[in-house]
Every structure is written in structure tokens, then in C-alpha cells.
Structure 1
């Protein structure tokens, strides 16, 4: 097991972000399907969609509850609220497995048994074991403990070791959120992203992170076939952008508190800075 997790840098992230060219169209730039949000937590859909757009995609398709869809369109009217062609999926943010309908369960299972990459967040994490699609799971500490229990894994003191072990057992990429975010792939590859800012400890920032990761993966999937090992560096790039956007949002706020939507709004500048180093 590789437990010597290294860091992830701006140059690492820049290598995986493709700047659009004059020959691109909305499909070649990447299409992310998003099935998130609920009647109780519709804002999660807005935050994930906003983050995906700001990270740089040709299209975002949202499929979810009517109230969430209305809020998404109010914030981002360019979003397509209909199913269709996608190069990656984001599922689970702002949902609760205990409230999942049979229709939702069938839809999520269909996505997870498909062929395109899937970012699995929050209320869909219980469906991750047994997925046929290449997946990235994005648990926080408590969610990670539950996922490990489902996999029959015992507690570990080292977060990096635990993330790698989970990735190996699940056959998926793991993004273990926290003050230090650990990204691990089934092969044992792992990186640790340093602490960004304590102001990130606020509601909704995990939804923004999931949207950023989904966007990076969809953009790459539009031009290359991805297996689960390829998702590790892409997920690390999404996490790097999220952290950089958070630092930018704090600076814009004069060093004070920020909201998840503030962080999402700074993703465009974080991406731009990688293409045009400051």
C-alpha cells in the first residue's frame, strides 16, 4: 500500500485542464449530467450546477425535483433540464438515502451501472459498492466511516492510509474531505491537498467541490476514454481548484467569512489563473 501521499500543485492541475479552441463545440468541451438536490435541500443542486459551469463546460444537464430545477434555472438559465447525452455524472448531493423513492433508486442504479464516470456524493454513497461505472466517491469523515463499515474495513488512525484502503476495497477513487483533503485511487496512488482556509467549513462547500470535480472529469471524458485510475488526478485537480477558489473568495471578502456560492463564483478565476499564470 502506498501511504506516502504527495501534494498536488498548480502545475499538476494545469496539465489536466484543457483550454477550449476555435474548433470546439459544447459537446467537445464536455457535458455533465447532474442528479442532485431534493425538496428538503434544493440548494445543493444550485451550488453543484453553478460550480460545474464556473469550472468550464460546454453544457450542464440537470435532472431532479421540480423545485430544485426551478431554482437552478433561476440562477443559471443556460442549464438544460432534460436528460440526454453526457460524458460524466454527479449524483447524491443534497439527498438522503432514507427518503429515496423507488424511481430515484432505479435511476441512480442505472447511472452507476453505466459506462461514463460518476461522482458519487452524500446521499448516494450507499450505492457506490457494486457500481460498474468508474466512480469517484466524495465522503466527509463520518460518511467515510459509514462507507468503510459497509465494506467491512476497520478504523485506521491515518486518514491517508484509510482513504487508500477504501479506494482499493471499493475499486473507486476516493476524495476524503477535510482540513486536508486526501485523494486516492485503487492502485494505491494518493495525494494530499493542504489546508485551504478554515472559512471553507460552512454549509454547501462540499456541493461546490463535487460540481468542480464532475466538471473536470466531464471535460476530460469529452476527449479521452477514462478508467478509474485516470479519475484520481482529475479529482485532485477539481479539489485543487476548489481550494484555490476558496482562498480567492476569502481575499475578495477582505479576509472574512464566505459562502459556498462565493467559492463557486471564484472557480472561473481559479481556472483562468491556471491557463494564464498570475
Structure 2
């Protein structure tokens, strides 16, 4: 395993690209989103909001919370069509997931497009053919490790995350006060959370939307060069998304507290994302 790097604004800036006069919505990236459920529809709203606020060209939402998503973000497309990366699982419960939805998600993971796999779809990541990046918190990480035949993670988060990535054959973004991102090769980054105020419901759904947007934009650039992203490319992209998420959280907390950090909601974090993107772009 390589020595972890500490991800900075300069590192993030290298993976973010401002649109040019020659861009259109497709060249900027289209992210397909299959998130939310009847029990947790807000996760879909937060993830879609975050993807838009990160600067994606199009969000194509195909989940259970269509009406709520459209009420909040009417520019979202809800018909099937071209996508360049997928976000799935946020706001889902694997135990209650309909069989037809499971089939749809498995079909995506059997394909070639990169996928961000969160929460209620993590059980489907094992054996996926698509390049995947999984985004577990500590408890979800142990469940995923069990599915891979690994022991609980214990205290060594960096080593455990890399062991998971190697066994999965995918990138791992292990959420926490310090986020650990690692790829199967051993490439590893540490990303500071930005502010402890991010420890609140829904911020993980926002992170999923950021990551889906970052990956879709990178895939669009790769396609323009007649290429595609592999799983190793997902590591730095995931670290970039985690940095943006942390910076947006810090910005939102300062806004809420009138200059000193104060309590925030997940939607506050999403609304601060354009400033976080701009901060990286100025680096």
C-alpha cells in the first residue's frame, strides 16, 4: 500500500474543469441517478441538488422520488437515455429493495460505465463488472467487508480500506471525520472533513451527488478522447469529491454562524458547492 497523500485544493483543481465556449450539456457530463425510496425520498432530492450544484451538464433521475425531485429541480430529466456515469443506492434499504429495482441496478453494474455505489446498493457492488467506487461509513464498511469474506475493519482505517478495495476490485471512499480514499493498486488519500458540523443527516447523500457529478464529467472528457475511466482513475476523483464536500460544509457552517462555524443542514452544504468549486478553480 502506498503512503497516503493529503488531498488539497490544488489536487482537487487538477480534476475539475470549467466549461468552455465549445462545451454543451453532454460534453460537460450526464449523471444517471437511481436513488431514494418511499421511506427515504429526501436522499434523492439532496443527491440531485448536489450534482447540479457541482456543475454537471445534465442529471437524469430514474428513481422512486421523481415528483419531489422535479418539484425541487425541474431541469432534471426523468426519461431514460444517455448517461456517462451512475449514482445509485442513496436512500435505499437493501432489505426492502424491490426485485425489479435490484435487476435494474445489477444491469448497470454489469456494464462498462463507472458507478458510484452508496448505502442501499452496497451489497450489489461485490462482483460488479463496471468500474465502481463505494462510499460506506464505518458500519456499512464492515457489512461490505463481511460480504467480501473479510474481518471487521478495527482501528486501522487506512489499511482496512485498502484491503477492501483490493478484494472488491473497486475504489473505496470510507467516510468519517477524516475520509480515506483508496484504489485497488494501493493509491490512498486522506481528506479532512472540513467541519464537524457535517456530521448530520443527509450529508452523505450530498457527497454521493458530488461524486456522481465529478465522475460523469471526467467520463465525458475521457469519451471525447475516445477513452473511458478505469477503476484506478476513480480514486483521485473520489478524493476530489470529498474535498469539495468538506469545503462546502465549512463554507455553509461559516454562513450559518455569521462568520464563526454554526449548525448546518445537508441542503446548506449542497447550496455551498458552487463556492467550493470556485475555491478549487482559483487555486
| Map of 2:151 onto structure 1 | 154
Give 1:101's aligned residue. 98
User: Deviations 1:170-202 (Å, cap 9, x if unpaired)?
Assistant: 000000001110000000010011242111111
Match 2:184 to one of 183, 186, 192: 186
For 2:205 and 2:97, the matched residues in 1 are separated by 19
User: How many angstroms apart in 1 are the aligned matches of 2:132 and 2:235?
Assistant: 10
Which of residues 65, 81, 84 in structure 1 aligns to 2:81? 84
Aligned partner of residue 234 in structure 2, secondary structure: helix
Q: Is the aligned partner of 1:111 residue 2:117?
A: no
| Equivalent-residue separation in structure 1 for 2:13 and 2:203 (angstroms) | 22
The TM-score with structure 2 as length reference comes to 0.95
Moved more, 137-146 or 68-77: 68-77
Q: Deviations over 1:208-255 (max 9, x none)?
A: 001101100000100112000000000100000000000000000112
The answer to which of 149-158 and 54-63 deviates more is: 149-158
Q: Which runs of 4+ in 1 moved over 6 A?
A: none
Aligned partner of residue 180 in structure 2, secondary structure? strand
| CA–CA separation in structure 2 for the residues paired with 1:58 and 1:196 | 27
> How far apart, CA to CA, are the structure 2 residues paired with 1:56 and 1:265?
12
Aligned to 1:226: 229
Contact map agreement 2:171 2:235 (CA 8 A) in 1: yes
Q: Which runs of 5+ in 1 are unaligned?
A: none
Q: Give the Cα separation in 1 of the matches to 2:149 and 2:114.
A: 25
- Residue equivalent to 1:63: 62
**Aligned position for 1:173:** 171
Q: Let me know the Cα RMSD of the aligned residues.
A: 0.8
Aligned to 1:73: 70
Which of 262, 266, 278 does residue 272 from structure 1 map onto?
278
Total equivalences in the alignment: 274
Q: What is the distance in 2 between the residues matched to 1:194 and 1:121?
A: 20
Give, in angstroms, the shift of residue 64 of structure 1.
1.1
- 2:14 equivalent to 1:24: no
Q: Which runs of 5+ in 2 are unaligned?
A: 223-227
The answer as to whether partners of 2:193 and 2:243 remain within 8 angstroms in 1 is no
Alignment partner, residue 39 of structure 2: 40
Instruction: Please give the alpha-carbon distance, in whole angstroms, between the structure 2 residues aligned to 1:161 and 1:253.
Output: 36
Partner of 1:217: 215
Q: Quote how far apart the aligned CAs of 1:152 are.
A: 1.1
